[in-house]
């Protein structure tokens, strides 16, 4: 058993080097596919962080009337907190709102004089509501509107609706584009490796005929081609990571500056995860393609 396994491995390596140009072509295509897949993963992570930051800046603000009782405000806040769609509620009292207004317009003499002429605090309390998903703001606004609470003066959902809808469409488009790209690249890599193994089988057809005549087992004939496919995927995965590393190292400081997210730090921190995915996909592509090619063109 061990001797047969060694012979299969040796035949696989011999076939790999014998068809070096064909092997390199297959490795090149799979490496490009895995590189793009890895790049898509990193870009998707970068976009996810950016969209999360944008999403954190989008909310629904509820403005209360100036004479609203604190108990009524607390009751509404508690009812909103109970909604499963709500992630966070930030409460700003009327006094805090006035202090923020003064700090914002402290250099505007006209505005400050007008504020001084008013008796009392003209600003009411507010709450800022953040949803778990941008698509959930519509439901939260519907809940607030249907409640028709007398202490609510205004809800600014209509003002932010366009921004929320655009953000939701961007998130959906990014996810869809990433999924389609990955499917196309995986299909292309499978087809290339499939044709490479088929060509290797055609090149070795005379040797295969001789092995059949002398009574070689099915696994002994098929094994080397399956091993070659596995080698294509393994080498391609490692090469894709080696190409990605310097690129991500160069982009890291730039992404930290513009997106507040260091792509290189993410790559290093999650290297084992990325390595496992790319090398795993490469091995799976090579092995599946070789199995399909062997089953189709090497009937023994």
Distance from C-alpha of 152 to C-alpha of 161, rounded to nearest angstrom:
19
Highest CATH level, class, for 58-159:
alpha beta
Tell me what pLDDT residue 5 has: 60
- Does 276 have pLDDT greater than 60? yes
For residue 294, with 0-12 CB atoms within 10 Å meaning exposed, 13-18 middle and 19 or more buried, which class applies? buried
- pLDDT band at 217, cuts 50/70/90? low
In this prediction, residue 172 carries a pLDDT of: 75
3-state secondary structure 175-186: HHHHHHHHHHHH
Q: How confident is the model at residue 203 (pLDDT cuts 50, 70, 90)?
A: low
Which range is most confident: 78-87, 101-110, 254-263? 78-87
pLDDT at position 297 = 56
Instruction: Please write the tens of the pLDDT for every residue from 5-61.
Output: 676 667 666 666 766 777 787 788 788 888 888 888 888 888 778 777 776 777 888
Nearest CA to 42 among 270, 284, 279?
270
For the chain, domain boundaries? 2-54+168-297, 58-159
Between CA 137 and CA 165 the distance in angstroms is 9
Check residue 299 and give its pLDDT: 57
139 has pLDDT over 60: yes
Q: Say how far apart CA 233 and CA 225 lie, in whole Å.
A: 13
Q: Is the model's pLDDT at 70 over the cut of 60?
A: yes
89-103 core/surface letters (b: 16 or more CB in 10 A; e: else): beebbbeebeeebee
Mean pLDDT, residues 111-120 taken together? 77
How many angstroms separate the CA atoms of 156 and 60, rounded? 6
Position 242 confidence tier, pLDDT thresholds 50, 70, 90: very high
Which has more confidence, 271 or 56? 271
Q: For all residues of the chain together, what is the average pLDDT? A: 79
Check pLDDT > 90 for residue 256: no
Q: Determine if the pTM surpasses 0.85.
A: no
pLDDT value at 285 more than 60: yes
- Picking from 88-97, 118-127, 199-208, which range would have the lowest pLDDT averaged per residue? 199-208
């Amino acid at each position: 058993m061990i001797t047969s396994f060694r012979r299969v491995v040796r035949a696989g390596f011999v076939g790999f080097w014998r068809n070096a140009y064909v092997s390199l072509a297959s490795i090149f295509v799979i490496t490009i596919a895995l590189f793009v897949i890895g790049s898509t993963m990193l870009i998707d992570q970068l976009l996810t962080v950016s969209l999360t930051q944008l999403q954190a800046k989008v909310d629904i603000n509820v403005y209360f009337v100036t004479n609203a009782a604190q108990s009524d405000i607390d009751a509404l806040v508690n009812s909103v907190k109970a909604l499963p769609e709500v992630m966070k509620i930030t409460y700003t009292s009327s006094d805090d709102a006035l202090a923020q207004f003064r700090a914002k317009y402290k250099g505007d003499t006209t505005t400050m004089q007008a504020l001084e002429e008013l008796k009392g605090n003209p600003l009411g309390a507010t709450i800022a509501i953040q949803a778990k998903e941008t698509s959930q703001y519509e439901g939260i606004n519907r809940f607030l509107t249907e409640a028709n609470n007398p202490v609510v003066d205004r809800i600014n959902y209509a003002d932010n609706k366009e921004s929320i809808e655009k953000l939701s469409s961007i998130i959906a488009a990014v996810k869809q584009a990433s999924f389609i790209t990955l499917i196309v690249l995986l299909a292309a890599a499978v087809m290339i490796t499939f044709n490479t193994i088929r060509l290797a089988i055609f090149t070795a057809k005379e040797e295969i005929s001789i092995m059949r005549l002398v009574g070689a087992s099915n696994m002994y004939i098929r094994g080397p081609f399956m091993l070659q496919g596995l080698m294509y995927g393994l080498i391609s995965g490692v090469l894709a990571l080696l190409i990605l590393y310097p690129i991500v190292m160069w982009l890291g400081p730039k992404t930290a500056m513009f997106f507040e997210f260091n792509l290189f730090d993410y790559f290093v921190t999650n290297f084992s995860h990325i390595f496992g995915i790319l090398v795993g996909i490469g091995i799976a592509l090579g092995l599946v393609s070789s199995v399909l090619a062997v089953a189709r063109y090497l009937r023994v």
